[in-house]
Amino acid sequence: MANKGGIIGGIITLVIGGTVFSISQADVAKNFSKDTGMSQQQAEQYVENISEDDLVSYEEVGLSYISSGQNTLDAASKIDCVNYSYEWETTSLSCEQAKSQLKTSGNNEIALGKAYKVLDTDSASIEDITTVIKLIDKANKDLGLEIINQIYTPSEISEMKKGNSYNKALLQTALDSTVKK
């Protein structure tokens, strides 16, 4: 989860590019509900249950995605489709397809990580926020790839999607607040 500011009385403070965004938890929950398909009540409960300890800087989130993406690319590079067969190969998922899916996912994670790190700089802009939102959508789409479903359990994938969607909801709410002004 990312949030450089804090949560006080239902108001979330984000600092992006030297700009302070004060947004309501209710608006974040609304955007979270819209992105996840959760009911408004479920989304509000999820957002309210995020503690200060769960929140880290965009720099930390970015580094985590870059590291994860690099690990994914490393794993893809070690797959030998010529000399080995793998238990995750199926009629709908060939070795080459799996390798390609891992490369796509890894590259998208690295791109997202780099974009998150930009949000932690003084020069971060509205366009940078929009870029992160688009890359979060790609990351969530990648979590539906067949090879990813072979690696992680459905509950792990669900939690990863929720974390991504929460961060997207924060950023979307910050963007929405600039339009209202």
Q: Going residue by residue through the chain (181 aa), what tens digit of pLDDT does each one get?
A: 444 444 444 778 888 988 888 888 899 999 999 999 999 999 989 988 887 777 788 999 999 999 999 999 999 999 999 999 999 999 999 999 999 999 999 999 999 999 999 999 989 999 999 999 999 999 999 999 999 999 999 999 999 999 999 999 999 999 998 865 4
pLDDT for the residue 68? 96
pLDDT for the residue 99? 97
Per DSSP, the residues of 26-81 read HHHHHHHHHHH---HHHHHHHHHT--GGG-B-HHHHHHHHHHHHHHHHHHHHT--T
Q: Report residue 18 as tokens.
A: 């030297």
pLDDT for the residue 50? 81
pLDDT for the residue 3? 44
Instruction: Domain ranges for the chain, please list them.
Output: 57-180
Nearest Cα neighbor of 10 from 23, 1, 19 is: 23
Nearest Cα neighbor of 119 from 174, 179, 166, 53 is: 174
**Does residue 146 contact residue 91 with C-beta atoms inside 8 Å?**
no
How many residues are present in the chain?
A: 181
Q: Report residue 4 as tokens.
A: 């450089």
- Mapped onto helix, strand or coil, the DSSP state of residue 85 is coil
Find the helix packing angle between 25-36 and 154-180, rounded to 10°.
130
pLDDT for the residue 180? 54
List the Cα angle 167/120/75 in 5-degree steps.
65
- What is the pTM (predicted TM-score) of this model? 0.89
Q: What whole-number distance in Å separates Cα of residue 55 and Cα of residue 49?
A: 12
Tell me the one-letter amino acid at 146: E
**Does residue 88 contact residue 82 with C-beta atoms inside 8 Å?**
no
pLDDT for the residue 17? 84
Q: What whole-number distance in Å separates Cα of residue 65 and Cα of residue 49?
A: 23
